Chain A
Amino acid sequence: MRIIPIISIIFFVLVTLTGCLGKEEISDLALVTAVGIDKGEQENILITAQIARPAEARGDAGAGGGTGEPMWTAIAEGKTIFEAIRNLARFSSRRVYWGHNMVIVISEEIAEDGIVDVIDFFTRNNELRMRTWILVTEEKARDLIPVKTGIEVLPGESIDHLFRYSPIVAEAPKSDAMSLSMGYLREYTHPYLALVNLKSRGIAEGEDMPEFGNLPQAELSGTALFRDDKMVGKLKDRESRGFLWFIGEVETAIIPIEFPEGDGNASIELRDNSFQLTPKYENGEVSFDITLETVADLVELGVPTGKSYDELFTLLEPILEDYIQEDIEMLLNKLQQEYQLDSIGLATYFRAKFPQYWDDVKDDWDELFPDMAIVVNVSAEITNPQLFRLPTKPVKE
């Protein structure tokens, strides 16, 4: 066969001509693990990049010198995100590499002006993963990025783990590049992002100690709401928790409730939940029914009581129901009255159920939304007192 030598020549030429194309080895890259986007002077964009120093982050392996810090944080400015990042390269000795970025933090100022450039840049680039967390902070992103937070070596990793491992106390939605671009691109939805803030929660030795520690830590709390690409509002803890029901992220949650008799509290952990949203269309009126059923465990009871569990559960269930209902109603109130923004995607539910009427209402949806009747029905059942056969109560009484 004459073809074999021809093909080997082709490959030889390919290999020799291309040389070392694209050859930047992993040790020649500056691996960004978290990035913050702020507003700089004169409408400029300020990029704060947290870059891992592998030798310090992993110890050993013979690399000497260094400051001992596992990361290096740098700030660059530019008219666009791309320009700012390119400017970063002016003083970064290694090529800035985005493939391992875990977190993008956007400051509130930027978010209010519009984040379409963020969505575009971070989903157009092939290096970035679609599961990068994107958050909004009320403070300056450049203050938040260098903060050593959590137990992990790299702070970016800590925030990543916060998202992944703390669904039980979650008060912020899991917002990644995927959900952001989906919320932005889809026709009748609006994007939302998690809020992150610094709170003094950590404790450092040797300094004077305020009430909650002296070391600022990043905390996920709340939701930032967008109309198209502009941030228009914020949901605080309980509203945000109500919000999670609608985006289907509640798998388990801890509900603190006040014990009705005597002074004390009880905590209840939700186990199996079903959340159903039924659109209705009657006489040109759009309304929604929400049915929420939950089966819960009693995980803490701070009051000694002589009641049996059966009595206790019938006592606690309505309180639990009211609490959950309150969460959702607070959210709906805020969305309908304050922001008049359908962040929870009621439109998609309506459109899926009544495609034939959708054309009638779609143009006025934003006007109709504040006045829609949304009925919330919560039914809770507590079934499991965990290890104790009897409620905690000393026998001596």
Chain B
Amino acid sequence: MQLEEKLEQDFFSCLQQNVTEIESILGSPSDLVKRDFTIVEQVNLDASLLYIDGLADSDVIENTILRPLLTNEMNESITALSSEQIKQVLTKKGLQVPSISIVANFNDGIDAILAGNALLFVDQYKQAFSLSVQGWETRGIEEPQSDTVLRGPRDGFVESIRTNTALVRRRIRDPRFRIQSMQIGKRSKTDIAITYIEGLVREDLVDEVLQRLNNIEIDAVLESNYIEELIDDSPTSPFLTVQGTERPDKIAAGMYEGKVAIFVDNTPFVLIVPTHFWTFFQTSDDYYTHYTTASYFRFIRYIAFIISLTLPSFFVMLVSFHQEMIPTQLALTIAAGREIVPLPVLIEALLMETAFELMREAGIRMPKPIGQAVSIVGSLVVGQAAVDAGIVSPIMVIVVATTGIASFAIPDYLASVSIRLIRFPILIASGFLGLLGFATTFVLLVIHAISLRSFGEPYMAPYFPFNSRDRQDTMIRKPFWAIETRPADVKGNEQRAGKNQKPSPNKRRKTRYKR
């Protein structure tokens, strides 16, 4: 008999038959625990408990299932009762498990076992009890590795979806907080949850997200990037139109702005949609430090963005085409540095970029202490030696290093990598066609970026198209007392803070006199 056919069957009334069938479906794995016992002493009803070791918590099983069933004297004669009534009896008196549900066929039964539930069969009954006793080893809540902040909460998401939703819910004590769950992945059956705040989110946005999630047909979802790539608005674009984060506060903040979060089980990265381009330059820190500082940091990040996108191309363009534009003093310095460099400047730039990418990649995968050694050897020793040997010019080292550092100043690592990627076409075009290549590829890129949408929202908003209301939290961060309204994505309930929230001594004094 095929596996599919076996799964289609309903449970048999014979206990032993059920257990063998399950064992045969699962291929009698070593971690499947089978515990046979009898309940209700008068009739000595056979029962069997099946669960996967490691997914179900054996302490819980012992304390909440076995001990009550084995010690409790159930005087009533339950042979005549239906399984619904047995459930009544068992739940009301016998079992101390928080949640019990009834399953009737092998398909559901297997699902329950694989999800970490214990399956309780009772002889003579064509149904089984699925007892929720999940309990596997998880990582505790730790500070996130990416998205670190100087000031602000230090908790990060973990691999358990339930813990993750709880972390967010703790920040939103609003009855309109909604969670919708589903499973994606034919084989992996990964739990997915989308959360939003009703009344703030655009209704069609939730529908859109649900529809896109429901359209996914895939055998396994191991990480949220699977989802991200499958619901992306512009799958061919190097730009990220969905943001993933490890920070519950970021997700909560997004939901207050009318966004939808997508939780995926087994990964600490939660997705948030829609995403605007500029959000990749914002960190949680921005909201936890003084607004002037925050705006200054943002300004620095935008500069970092421009540098990491254009600096090498600009340099190559100047040195190989438009030498008259370099100030004379600098021109002489550059020429002096390039005097003995044998390579054309474009090749030199590409070489250095490659070397830099090598160091970055090597540094990431290595264990931390070795990673540091790699960066020291790479940057200091090789860099210095390359200049001394005349393979690259010192200015090129400065240019590439500045570009690299600038790209690290962009808070979202993946966004910064995507910017690093799109820099290469510009670099090559300006190396071949100078100003014309630079201008045309740059414009192509810009047009591409502004034509993108993320779940119906223009990707480059609020600048292209221009929306003055949202600018209060984009290029700069206005103080909280000045941002009275929510962003334009939000459907209703636009007021975010009260009027006249700006604190001033006069206000307080007045009230004091009144008293």
Contacts and interface: CB of A to CB of B under 8 A. Distances in A.
Direct contact between A and B judged by beta carbons closer than 8 A: yes
B86 interface: no
Contacts of A59: 336
Nearest to B321: A22
B339 A15 contact: no
A100 B331 contact: yes
A27 B388 CA distance: 17
A208 to B, nearest CB: 36
Given A31-B332, A55-B336, A26 B323 contact: yes
B99 to A, nearest CB: 51
A281 interface: no
Given A23-B321, A97-B323, A62 B388 contact: yes
A25 B432 contact: no
B332 A58 contact: yes
Contacts of B319: 25-26
A11 interface: yes
A54 B434 contact: no
Contacts of B335: 26-27, 29, 31, 52, 54, 58
Contact of B344 (A11, A23, A60): A23
A327 interface: no
B511 to A, nearest CB: 56
B341 interface: yes
A7 B393 CA distance: 35
B328 A61 contact: no
Contacts, number: 95
A55 B429 CA distance: 29
Main secondary structure of the interface of B (DSSP, over half): helix
A151 interface: no
A127 interface: yes
Contacts of A67: none
B338 A27 contact: yes
Contact of A26 (B331, B390, B433, B444): B331
A197 to B, nearest CB: 25
Contacts of B393: 61
A387 interface: no
A308 interface: no
A25 B320 contact: yes
Contacts of A97: 323-324
A21 interface: yes
Given A25-B319, A25-B344, A26-B319, A127 B324 contact: yes
B339 A55 contact: yes
A157 interface: yes
B326 interface: yes
Interface string B369-394: 00000000000000000011010011
A61 B397 CA distance: 13
Nearest to B338: A27
Contacts of B78: none
Contacts of A31: 323, 328, 331-332, 335
A15 B428 contact: yes
A97 B331 CA distance: 12
B312 to A, nearest CB: 15
Contacts of A264: none
B366 interface: no
B334 interface: yes
B328 A102 contact: yes
A100 B339 contact: no
B429 A11 contact: yes
Contacts of A24: 320
Which size class do B's interface residues fall under?
A: 20 to 34
A57 interface: yes
A31 B323 CA distance: 10
Interface string B391-433: 0011000000000000000000000000000000000110011
Given A25-B344, A25-B345, A14 B328 contact: no
Contacts of A54: 332-336, 339
Contacts of B390: 62
Interface in A30-76: 31, 33, 52, 54-55, 57-64
B431 to A, nearest CB: 8
A18 interface: yes
Contacts of A355: none
B152 to A, nearest CB: 42
Interface string B257-280: 000000000000000000000000
B340 interface: yes
Contacts of B345: 25-26
Contact of B340 (A11, A63, A129): A63
A53 to B, nearest CB: 9
A9 B387 CA distance: 37
A392 to B, nearest CB: 43
Contact of B336 (A21, A23, A57): A57
B144 interface: no
A154 to B, nearest CB: 8
A129 B498 CA distance: 58
A168 B335 CA distance: 35
Given A26-B319, A58-B332, A63-B339, A99 B324 contact: yes
With most chain B CB atoms within 10 A of its CB, the pick from A24, A31, A33, A127 is: A31
Given A11-B429, A15-B428, A97-B323, A27 B328 contact: no
A26 B338 CA distance: 8
A64 B333 CA distance: 16
B337 interface: yes
Which 3 A-B pairs rank lowest in CB-CB distance, beginning with the nearest?
A: A99-B324, A58-B336, A54-B335
Interface of A: 7, 11, 14-15, 18-27, 29, 31, 33, 52, 54-55, 57-64, 97, 99-100, 102, 127, 129, 157
Given A54-B333, A63-B339, 16 more contacts: A11-B429, A15-B428, A15-B433, A18-B433, A22-B321, A23-B320, A26-B331, A26-B334, A27-B341, A29-B323, A31-B328, A31-B335, A54-B332, A61-B337, A61-B393, A102-B328
8 contacts: A21-B432, A23-B320, A31-B332, A54-B339, A55-B336, A58-B335, A61-B336, A64-B340
